[in-house]
Homo-oligomer: A and B are copies of this chain.
């Protein structure tokens, strides 16, 4: 869901390569370029990906030059027979090749360092389009090109991500920035526990905020991220508009917002535990270790993550966590009393300050009418008491595990933030 709009200059990306259209490699370059260019206040209107076909590439480049202010091409600049970007550029810009001695020197240096001559296959890189300005590549053998047609500027960059980013940052970004007369800023607000529809219903009318910023929501099964973007006269003015929209969202979504920008829920939980000098232990049935895995993604987590148990069987719940067998008999392993007993038990046996426990039916089998697949109880225990919530997730085992781990970490966060209702 995106609200609002900012009108700005526009860029197109043209991605070249059989290996991309045939899915052999994942194109991360376009995400990097899309995000970086968008953040500079330039709208990325289109990304076209084509295989190593000269006529298809020519067609795309010509249209992009007509429609856009900027064109950024990636790929097809290597020195092998299927790297045809350069020959397409010669045709589109109607020019020939010239030899560039600086490229030649740079190649000689690279191969000297490897103790060999520049191979014939690579030396063709010294031949560059007559009408191009050369983007000298310090990270590889393929130079990039800058070419101009009317009001449109085209950059051709190599496809290797490291080389592409190097040339983009050194040559393309400064030029794009110099052309702006405004500042583009954005902020990401991360929520969990509400569907996209429920989230916007809870927030209510947005009109006043949409005069300040563009607001977009990005849902996943683990939560909704909200992106606020502004095109401002200056950075301070932009920041103040971002702050205003963030305050508005926080008023309505306080309990569901766990962080912003690069924040990860497991790192937020870790920071809260560190701040309060508390330790945490985990008792996982259906999540099978996923909560421990997420907690330990964070460097330094050994300081507060005390210990974890993966207790699939009733026997393990009893022997490791001191869950009373009669609770399991009476209520079943997937029940509120057992989840609570697991959270309390894991604190008792490990000496941790907080315990989080999950018991559920991940599926695909094991469900019944009374206890369907997806039924999950999550309990958090600390000195002030034991809190338990019931969830009914879906039929998908893997997603159920992911949702359970997310909900468990969020409950730990809410307890650490002193929320009584988690």
Contacts and interface: CB of A to CB of B under 8 A. Distances in A.
Interface of A: 1-2, 15, 18-28, 30-38, 43-53, 56, 78, 80-82, 113-114, 119, 121-122, 139, 162, 196-197, 216, 218, 227, 282, 284, 286-293, 295-297, 299-302, 305-313, 316, 320, 350, 362-365, 372, 392, 396-399, 401
A43 B33 CA distance: 26
Nearest to A351: B315
A293 B290 contact: yes
Contact of A293 (B27, B227, B289, B306): B289
A298 to B, nearest CB: 9
Nearest to A110: B394
Contact of A197 (B52, B121, B302, B392): B121
B35 A31 contact: no
A19 B218 contact: yes
Given A27-B27, A288-B289, A289-B310, 8 more contacts: A22-B43, A23-B44, A24-B218, A43-B51, A45-B56, A46-B51, A287-B293, A299-B364
Which 10 residue pairs spanning A and B have beta carbons closest together? A288-B296, A23-B35, A289-B292, A308-B310, A289-B289, A23-B34, A47-B49, A22-B38, A289-B293, A292-B310
Nearest to A364: B299
B293 A24 contact: no
A387 to B, nearest CB: 21
Contact of A24 (B35, B197, B291): B35
A49 B46 contact: yes
Contacts of A1: 78, 80-82
A114 B393 CA distance: 9
A292 B288 contact: yes
Contacts of A396: 139, 162
Contacts of A307: 309-313, 316, 320
B51 A35 contact: no
A27 B19 CA distance: 15
Contact of A26 (B21, B31, B300): B31
Contacts of A52: 2
Contacts of A364: 299
B289 A162 contact: no
16 contacts: A2-B24, A24-B35, A25-B31, A46-B50, A113-B372, A139-B396, A282-B310, A288-B297, A288-B301, A289-B289, A290-B296, A293-B293, A297-B397, A306-B316, A307-B312, A309-B310
Which one of A47, A299, A365, A401 has the greatest number of beta carbons of chain B within 10 Å? A47
Contacts of A399: 162
Contact of A46 (B37, B48, B320): B48
Nearest to A227: B24
A27 B301 CA distance: 31
Contacts of A295: 288-289
Given A289-B284, A309-B309, A2 B18 contact: yes
A284 B310 CA distance: 11
Nearest to A405: B293
Contact of A302 (B15, B33, B302, B313): B313
A306 to B, nearest CB: 7
Given A46-B49, A289-B290, A363-B299, A23 B2 contact: no
Contacts of A30: 23, 27, 49
Contacts of A299: 363-365, 397
A216 B311 contact: no
A69 to B, nearest CB: 15
B46 A23 contact: no
Contact of A35 (B22, B36, B305, B310): B22
A34 B46 contact: no
Contact of A401 (B80, B293, B397): B293
Contacts of A37: 23
A410 to B, nearest CB: 18
